[in-house]
């Protein structure tokens, strides 16, 4: 299986996938930590893919999405974006709407708490 085949299988086989440096339990960069922290705080069930563990996946995800940086968040097969985009969407409520529209379970109260803390 090629890296692209693996990426497609992960994205198609999981509602939410985060390509990141490190793991959701132990992120290895600040940007990955921020996105994983949001998803963890919201109680979202997601697959984490550590791009540091496989150079082919690390480059493959950049080629697949035509997006040059990590982390990368996918929801129901759709590329959402990286750290800045996910942060903005969290604070604006757009991430809630995306999860609602796609049928992804998350803690709405936790999302409100994030916005209140950053108001």
Per the CB < 8 A criterion, the answer to whether 71 and 19 are in contact is: yes
Give residue-wise pLDDT tens across range 66-119: 999 999 999 999 999 999 999 999 999 999 999 999 999 999 999 999 999 998
Task: Report the percent of the chain where pLDDT is more than 90.
Answer: 98
Residue 8's pLDDT band, with cuts at 50, 70 and 90, is very high
Look up the pTM and report it: 0.96
Number of domains in the chain: 1
17, 11 in Cβ contact below 8 A? yes
Distance CA 20, CA 50 (A): 5
Supply the pLDDT for residue 71: 98
The pLDDT, as a whole number, for residue 1 is 87
8 A C-beta contact, residue 87 and residue 38: yes
Dist. CA 58–CA 112, nearest whole Å:
33
pLDDT of residue 116: 96
> How large is the C-alpha radius of gyration of the chain?
14
Closest-CA residue to 22 (of 31, 12, 13) = 31
Annotated binding site for [2Fe-2S] cluster: 29
The total number of residues written for the chain in this structure: 119
Question: CATH number, domain at 33?
Answer: 3.40.30.10
Binding residues: 29
| Structural domain for 101, as ranges | 3-117
Do the Cβ atoms of 20 and 40 come closer than 8 Å? no
The tokens of 4 are what? 């692209």
């Amino acid at each position: 299986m090629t890296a692209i085949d693996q990426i497609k299988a992960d994205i198609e086989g999981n509602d939410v996938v985060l390509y990141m440096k490190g793991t959701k339990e132990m992120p290895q960069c600040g940007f990955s930590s921020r996105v994983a922290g949001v998803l963890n705080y919201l109680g979202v069930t997601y697959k984490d893919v550590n791009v540091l563990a496989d150079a082919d996946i690390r480059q493959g995800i950049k080629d697949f999405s035509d997006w040059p940086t990590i982390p990368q968040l996918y929801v129901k097969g759709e590329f959402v974006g990286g750290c800045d985009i996910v942060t903005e969407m969290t604070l604006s409520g757009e991430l809630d709407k995306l999860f609602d529209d796609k049928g992804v379970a998350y803690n709405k109260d936790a999302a409100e708490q994030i916005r209140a803390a950053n108001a």
